[in-house]
Amino acid sequence: MQMLQDKVAVITGGAKGIGFAIAENFVAQGAKVVLADINADHAQESASKLGGKGTALGVACDVTDPDAVQAAIEAATGEFGSLDVMVNNAGITRDATMRKMTLDDFEAVLDVHVKGAWLGTRAAAAVMREQGSGSIVNISSISGKVGMIGQTNYSAAKAGIVGLTKAAAKEVAHLGVRVNAVQPGLIRTDMTAALREDVWNAKLKEIPMQRAGEPEEVANVVLFLASDMSSYMTGCVLEITGGRHI
């Protein structure tokens, strides 16, 4: 028996990085997935790598747009018949110290992470409450726990996702819907490939396990939260950091 046999999942930002690793993991465990990403071509290319029609569908979705988020959910219910798992993963960074950060940088990051996760949680919960079951997993960051220099926008957004997760978990627990979050640390993706070498090395020094994490290591924890293995967990925030900032 696979962990997500015949389950249907939507993964925002699923075309690459952590989102794609989550999708790959879900498909390996029997799920059908919708990759909802800002770039339609990337979403469709990634969906075909996962088997394409019948297994994975790539759709254009800007998570800051309520209609696009709703359309991604409807793509799952329309194409695959239900929505069992929602992963609010899409993310961006616009790092700068407050002296240099523009209001646009601040608002863009808050919009994608907080508004995006809220829209995804709200739209998914509306379907899941009707079917009496479902698991929503929000991707926060260790930056939201400890706060990081140059990330007043991102740390605020990722902390906001924790509050959103806990409040939503309380609202929908009695309807059979669980809402949890994860806080990855330094994970090897395009997002962190942009870091300067000295910044990367300084972060590495903070990690008791002395290495960065791989997207698959985040995907495994998300799989646990998505599946019935975590059936008595809601409102939880799991750290995936190699021991950093514990």
The verdict on 187 binding ligand NAP (CB under 6 A) reads yes
Size of the site for ligand NAP (CB under 6 A): 29
The verdict on 220 binding ligand NAP (CB under 6 A) reads no
Considering only 121, 151, 155, 192, the residue that binds ligand NAP (CB under 6 A) is 192
Exposure class string for 121-160: b at 16+ Cβ within 10 A, else e = bbbbbebbbeeebbbbbbbbbbbbbeebebbbbbbbbbbb
Name which of residues 86 to 105 contact ligand NAP (CB under 6 A). 89-92
Closer residue to ligand NAP (CB): 19 or 134: 19
Cα–Cα distances (Å) from 196 to 51, 112, 141, 174, 185, in that order, read: 36, 24, 19, 46, 16
Closer residue to ligand NAP (CB): 42 or 122: 42
Min separation Cβ 169 and ligand NAP, Å: 19
Nearest to 31 by CA among 57, 58, 2, 5: 5
- Please answer whether residues 155 and 143 qualify as being in contact, where contact means their C-beta atoms are separated by less than 8 angstroms: yes
Structure tokens at 172: 């929908």
* Residue entry with tokens 């819907």: 177
Closer residue to ligand NAP (CB): 3 or 191: 191
Residues in CB range of 226: below 8 A, 6 or more apart:
3, 4, 7, 9, 26, 85, 87, 135, 137
Name which of residues 15 to 54 contact ligand NAP (CB under 6 A). 15-19, 37-39, 42
User: Is 232 among the residues known to form the active site?
Assistant: no
- Please answer whether residues 191 and 15 qualify as being in contact, where contact means their C-beta atoms are separated by less than 8 angstroms: no
The verdict on 138 binding ligand NAP (CB under 6 A) reads no
Closer residue to ligand NAP (CB): 42 or 166: 42
Considering only 44, 141, 227, 230, the residue that binds ligand NAP (CB under 6 A) is 141
Helix, strand, coil: what percent of the chain each, to 5? Answer: 50, 15, 35
Nearest to 183 by CA among 231, 226, 224, 144: 144
Closer residue to ligand NAP (CB): 27 or 87: 87
Min separation Cβ 158 and ligand NAP, Å: 7
The verdict on 191 binding ligand NAP (CB under 6 A) reads yes
Structure tokens at 157: 């957004």
The verdict on 115 binding ligand NAP (CB under 6 A) reads no
The catalytic position among 59, 154, 158, 179 is: 154
Q: Running DSSP on this structure, what letter comes out for residue 4?
A: T
Nearest to 110 by CA among 151, 165, 166: 151
Applying CB under 6 A, which part among 70-78, 122-130, 181-189, 203-211 lies near ligand NAP?
181-189
Give the binding site for ligand NAP (CB under 6 A).
12-13, 15-19, 37-39, 42, 61-64, 89-92, 112, 139, 141, 184, 186-187, 189-192
Residues with a known catalytic role: 154
